Amino acid sequence: MSAAHDDSALIDAFLDSLWLERGASDNTLSAYRHDLQAWQWQLAEYQASLLAPPGKALANWLERRRQEGYKLRSNARLLSSLRGFYQWALGEGRIDHDPLAEVRLPRVAPSLPDTLEEDEVERLLEAPDVKTGLGLRDRAMLEVLYGAGLRVTELVGLTTDALNLRQGVVRVRGKGDTERLVPLGEEAVDWLSRYLRSGRGALMQDVTRPALFPGRGDACLTRQAFWYRIKAHARSAGIERGLSPHTLRHAFATHLLNHGANLRVVQLLLGHSDLSTTQIYTHVAQVRLEALHAEHHPRG
């Protein structure tokens, strides 16, 4: 078997372990595969294998990427993928030392997520025409997205049996196939109730299908289709700033912290496995507080 085939088998074994042991998502596995295959192709220039990279190969590649315009954050993510692979190989006994142990990149400052002010959220929520079934669906989806802080993929994948409107909670299947119960809030419960009474049936040919928010063919609305709807509603609401698929999730977390919520509570609601992932929102809240202080304090 050639070295290239050996390396491809190694990549497959590593990705299998990520899936089996950590429940890594398809997107995560695809990103790791992309990075490792790119590294494999770089090593082919040296006629070297993944398990025995030449000492300067990675540093040379990272510098070349920098000159080609790749950002520091992109190189940091690539290095993180490679480190994960070599830590796995070390644990499996395939190598006796980590060849990247001495490779360092400058620290990457955390980027602050895009978010919306509270009045902008209100305008966005009120944008759909709730006299139509589509408008009721979109209003209910936006209310759930903001009221529960869901990821867009979690939202569009909801089924009717995930809801308990009497208790005001939704069961969410998140990253790594983990489940969490998230409170919805009164507004989201109210709009979901209205949608289920008057909107969902008008959008479906077979209401016994499980999709809570149907798209074509009574299947769950796709992430891309919902994102198109969000952008259309943002335009009609006069929101000019750029939005991302996670904008309302970011607003959910930031506004909770602005109003005094505990960081660990926000972590649980968002479904973050690591508190450090949630801490980025403290920076967003701090920026907002500083802006308010500068605007309203007599010595701001």
pLDDT in tens, 92-119: 999 998 888 877 765 655 555 567 788 8
Q: Of 137, 139, 229, 249, which residue is the catalytic one?
A: 249
| Pair (135, 54) in one structural domain | no
Q: Of 137, 139, 233, 246, which residue is the catalytic one?
A: 246
137 is catalytic: no
| Pair (174, 271) in one structural domain | yes
Q: Is 241 helix (H, G, I), strand (E, B) or coil?
A: coil
- For CA atoms 294, 107, 112, 70, give the dihedral sign: positive
Q: Domain of 142? A: 118-296
Tokens of 108: 């990457």
State residue 82's pLDDT score: 92
Q: Of 137, 151, 229, 233, which residue is the catalytic one?
A: 151
175 is catalytic: yes
The C-alpha atoms of residue 3 and residue 7 are separated, in whole angstroms, by: 6
pLDDT in tens, 36-79: 999 999 999 899 999 999 888 888 898 888 888 887 778 888 88
Q: Of 32, 86, 146, 281, which residue is the catalytic one?
A: 281
Strand order in the sheet with 179-183: 163-164, 169-173, 179-183
151 is catalytic: yes
- One-letter amino acid at 214 equals P
CATH number for position 185: 1.10.443.10
Beta bridge partners of 224: none
Residue 21 above 70 pLDDT?
A: yes
283 is catalytic: no
Residue 239 above 50 pLDDT?
A: yes
The C-alpha atoms of residue 22 and residue 88 are separated, in whole angstroms, by: 12
Q: Is 163 helix (H, G, I), strand (E, B) or coil?
A: strand
Task: Average the pLDDT over each of 129-133, 134-138, 228-232 and give the range with the smallest value.
Answer: 228-232
CATH number for position 15: 1.10.150.130
- One-letter amino acid at 108 equals V
In degrees, rounded to 5, the angle at the alpha carbon of residue 31 between the alpha carbons of residues 71 and 141 is 95
| Pair (179, 221) in one structural domain | yes
56 is catalytic: no
The C-alpha atoms of residue 89 and residue 94 are separated, in whole angstroms, by: 5
Question: Which one is predicted more confidently, 32 or 66?
Answer: 32
Q: Is 68 helix (H, G, I), strand (E, B) or coil?
A: coil
Tokens of 23: 């429940």
Asked if the structure places residue 108 within a domain, the reply is no
| Pair (260, 198) in one structural domain | yes
Q: Of 65, 123, 175, 194, which residue is the catalytic one?
A: 175
pTM: 0.57
**134, 140, 146, 150 alpha-carbon torsion, rounded to 10°:** -90
pLDDT-based confidence at 2, cuts 50/70/90? Answer: very low
- One-letter amino acid at 138 equals D
281 is catalytic: yes
Cβ pair 200, 210 in contact under 8 A? no
State residue 292's pLDDT score: 46
Closest C-alpha to 152, from 249, 277, 28, 242: 249
